Structure 1
Amino acid sequence: MSKIIAEIKIPDSKLAREAAELLRDHGDELLWNHSNRVFLFGAIQGNQAGVIYDSELLYISAIFHDLGLTKHYSSPDKRFEVDGANAARDFLKSRGVPLESISRVWDAIALHTTIGIAEHKESEVALLYSGVGYDVMGENYERISDDIRNQIVEAFPRNDFKNRIIPAFYEGFKHKTETTFGNIKADVCAEMIPGFKRTNFCDCIRHSAWKE
């Protein structure tokens, strides 16, 4: 793998390599390519905007951001984003990374699907969110040139990503669909489960234990 892609250096520290090995061990080709594209698209958008960020922390956030979808890291009852964030926190704590850096990575992963919040936080959090949005939904697609985009996709191919990612999401949390309440992954359940009934916030209010 080239260490520099589209003028972005892939972090090659011991910490970064160990994180990448975990994704190699427990993820698959879909998550590997997606996670690396997310890092690159986030980094490029950060550079374009003149944002100061820690490339290693952004890379590790990208590497871990979907690991909560894998059997190894998936809990029975937490959002997959939290599973990935907890895995990253344990990984970084075991290697003596400062708590402030761990907190940034945790927030970046836990909030990467949370619309309207992540983009207003620290640079690594905001850039991971931007990278995910770019790769999954094509948000701000025109901000990156065809040439740069093609270099990234050549290094980390999409391979029918549009059709494969929705079932991949579902496989990661089909055993705990209740964790999608209040977030965009409920759309995945509605897509994949015939007759899926979302939990309704208004019903939660009306049917609460309060006697009025």
Structure 2
Amino acid sequence: MRISDFAVPDTLAACGALSLARQYQSPAITAHALRSWLWAEAFAEVDGIRNVDHELLYVAAVLHDIGTVGPFDNHTLSYEHAGGHVGVALTAGAGWEQPRRERVLEVIVRHNWPRVDPAMDAEGHLLEIATGLDISGARPDALPEDFRREVLAAHPRGALAAEFGACVLDQAARKPDTAARRLVDGGVVAKLAANPLETL
């Protein structure tokens, strides 16, 4: 398994998502988003999940944390809902029909669920387990070590643990009824620091 096995969608929406991410997010958060996409595609391969909308998965992965940055942070909505609405706006501009635009919102919101049934939402499930690996270190040995090393070399973790830890603490404090509070209560800050990807 290699990065080259997974082609970045050459579409207006995919290019726009990456452009937005690079403009508004820190390098560490954008690298996290790109690793999450690659982990998601790899999990689809090893778990035998078919019929994946690869463009939808890419756009959702690249934008899944954009609701944490100042210009898109919503004072009442959870960061995943805020980011999902950025995805809806972007894909509307790219000409997606409304049902598929709504799927971007669903996938981004569901990445913060404790579990997503792949039979209900393949892309939401893949993003949930991919971010589970990149943030909390879940299923670290499910993907080949050489592939994990290649992804980390291409998209280094940098200051992700400190940046995302501070971000989710802030979100939980300001919006205690959102998923950020559950993540904090579940020990996400310690999980970030102890993630085996940090020392691979």
TM-score (norm 1): 0.79
Aligned pairs, number: 187
User: C-alpha separation between the residues in 1 aligned to 2:79 and 2:179?
Assistant: 12
CA contact (8 A) 2:175 2:181 kept: no
Residue-by-residue CA offset, 1:15-71 (whole Å, 9 max, x unaligned): 211110001111111111000000000110001122120111101001110000001
CA contact (8 A) 1:180 1:186 kept: no
CA contact (8 A) 1:112 1:129 kept: yes
Computed over aligned residues only, the root mean square deviation of the Cα atoms, in angstroms, reads 2.4
Query: What corresponds to 1:129 in structure 2?
Result: 128
Query: What corresponds to 1:139 in structure 2?
Result: 138
Say which is worse superposed, 85-94 or 96-105, in terms of deviation: 96-105
Q: Which runs of structure 2 are paired with 1:1-212 in the superposition (5 Å)? A: 5=3, 7-52=5-50, 53-117=52-116, 119=118, 121-171=120-170, 173=171, 176-180=174-178, 184-187=182-185
Change (3 A) 1:122 1:189: closer
Following superposition, the deviation at residue 6 of structure 1 comes to 5.1
User: C-alpha separation between the residues in 1 aligned to 2:133 and 2:188?
Assistant: 23
CA contact (8 A) 2:32 2:155 kept: yes
Following superposition, the deviation at residue 127 of structure 1 comes to 0.7
CA contact (8 A) 1:85 1:106 kept: yes
Say which is worse superposed, 117-126 or 88-97, in terms of deviation: 117-126
Is the helix fraction higher in 1 or 2?
Answer: 2
CA contact (8 A) 1:111 1:129 kept: yes
CA contact (8 A) 1:108 1:118 kept: no
CA contact (8 A) 2:29 2:160 kept: no
Residue-by-residue CA offset, 1:115-139 (whole Å, 9 max, x unaligned): 1346553111111111111111121
Report which of the two structures shows the higher radius of gyration computed on alpha carbons.
1
Q: Which runs of 5+ in 2 are unaligned?
A: 190-200
TM-score (norm 2): 0.83
Output the amino acid matched with 1:187. Answer: D
Say which is worse superposed, 99-108 or 62-71, in terms of deviation: 99-108
CA contact (8 A) 2:67 2:80 kept: yes
What percentage of residue pairs aligned between the two structures are identical? 21
Q: Secondary structure at the match of 2:141?
A: helix
CA contact (8 A) 2:16 2:90 kept: no
Query: What corresponds to 2:193 in structure 1?
Result: none
Q: Which runs of 5+ in 1 are unaligned?
A: 192-212
User: C-alpha separation between the residues in 2 aligned to 1:43 and 1:187?
Assistant: 29
Change (3 A) 1:13 1:181: closer
Output the amino acid matched with 2:104. Answer: V
